[in-house]
Structure 1
Amino acid sequence: MLEIINGYLMVYFIFLCTLSVLVPYLTKPIVACFVRPSNDERTVWSEILKLKSAQQNISMKEEFAAYSKIQRKINRLELQLKDDSQTRMSRSLAIKSSAQIAFQVAVGLVTVLSVIWFRREPIVALKGDLFPLGTVLRYPSEMPNAISTHMWVLMSNFSIRTLLKPILS
């Protein structure tokens, strides 16, 4: 029923289509390496923890002035930490989207160039008559009842996206 004519190309295009689907999930760990909290953020966080522990040792009723002075320092440092983390998160989003776009463009470019390069190579030949769809499935290949690289990439891409959607969602 099915004869694989060019197995290497079949696996190659399946790999490219799978890679195209997985690009957003592969870029997350890469981006995570670039957007860790800075030393300043860690220093501010440790200072906040020290001030909070010092504040717990002070009675609010008996030493209100010292308690509120420490509280104002804590509030100021927490505001600074919040601003720093928001800046880091916006930078993270920019890096993540740029990396995803770059990888997606690279994979798409390799796929398009490969389809153009191997455009006349049939991937699979089907037994039987594919009368209404035979010409569309084999174009531009000349082999009857064959599936060309164009159609193979379209079918593989659709199938892989459909199969991986429940897993990746």
Structure 2
Amino acid sequence: MLEVLNGFLLLYIVILCTLSALVPVLVKPIASCFVRPSNEERSVWIEIVKFKNEQQNLSMKDDFAAYSKIQRRINKLDMLLKENAQTRLSKSLAIKGSINIILQAVIGLVIVISVIWFRREPIVALEGDLFPLTTILRYPSDTPNAVSTHVWVLISNVSIRSLLKPLIS
């Protein structure tokens, strides 16, 4: 049987560990707010579409000079668009990496501070005698058969990451 001694702390640690496990999923939408196609890229794309529509109205055999002139313009704009997209992609990767590191560091720091702050608080008490593991599970708490904050963070982190692994991957 299991008795919850500190429900708030139990839930708090589970939420922190879940957030820590979900950081890779949260990074993508946050980073997309910072990296969007610029107005210049949108206008280049509109010009390419306009030139392609013009080109479709021309016969390649009859109006070869005009057709190839438009094709050269399309190719030039396409190269410009690809360069801009490559720049945006590298910027996006840098932002995603930074956001990932910052979120992991903040959540990790909050977890470490919480473990230090609540180090003597038992989270749950187990029924029965778990002789070889009793001291390890309750350290530094004095409550018999209890699970301390340190161990609860470890158990929550491992179990939540293994449960969410199929969703994240």
| TM norm structure 1 | 0.97
User: How many pairs align?
Assistant: 169
Could you tell me how far apart the structure 1 residues matched to 2:96 and 2:5 are? 40
Unaligned runs of 5+ in 1: none
Partner of 2:73: 73
Q: CA–CA distance in 1 between the matches of 2:167 and 2:62?
A: 59
- The code of the aligned residue for 1:164 comes to L
Partner of 1:87: 87
Question: In the alignment, does 2:37 pair up with 1:27?
Answer: no
Residue 57 of structure 1: CA displacement?
1.5
**Runs of 4+ off more than 2 Å:** none
- Determine the structure 2 residue equivalent to 1:142: 142
Distance 1:2 1:28 in 2: 38
Aligned-pair distance for 1:67?
Answer: 1.1
Q: Percent identity?
A: 67
Equivalent-residue separation in structure 1 for 2:153 and 2:11 (angstroms) = 11
Residue 112 of structure 1: CA displacement? 0.4
Mapping of 1:98-113 within 5 angstroms? 98-113=98-113
Alignment of 1:2-21 (within 5 A): 2-21=2-21
Shift of 1:80: 0.4
1:168 is displaced (CA, Å) by 2.5
- Structure 2 SS opposite 1:141: coil
Q: Deviations over 1:112-159 (max 9, x none)?
A: 000011001111111111100000001111111111000000001001
SS class of match (1:49) = helix
RMSD value over aligned CA atoms?
0.9
Matches of 2:88 and 2:69, distance apart in 1: 29
